[in-house]
Amino acid sequence: MKEDHVNQGGQKYFVNIEGKEFPWGDETITAEEIAQLGGWDLSQGIVEVDEENNERTINASEVIAIKPGHGYGKKHTWKRG
């Protein structure tokens, strides 16, 4: 993961992961970086949630362009108790 998330122009982006905002200095972020910021293993999966609450599963090797109104969260799994 990058040590310094402030880009050359000083502009910061914010990545919302499960309701918590993280400053980010690049226009893109990798799936691995999202999982690291969120504090979980990439194997748990990542779901992109847009401003209309539409969900899309992110591939482990994907690079995502940061857009306003998007957040990321762990993929939740369900099983019988």
Which pLDDT score is estimated for 33? 94
Q: Give the whole-angstrom CA distance, residue 28 versus residue 81.
A: 39
Phi, psi angles (nearest 5°) of residue 2: -65, 145
Which pLDDT score is estimated for 9? 55
Residue extents of the structural domains in the chain: 13-74
Mean pLDDT over the full length of the chain: 79
In this prediction, residue 31 has a pLDDT band, given cuts at 50, 70 and 90, of very high
39-67 residue pLDDT tens: 999 999 999 888 778 888 899 999 999 87
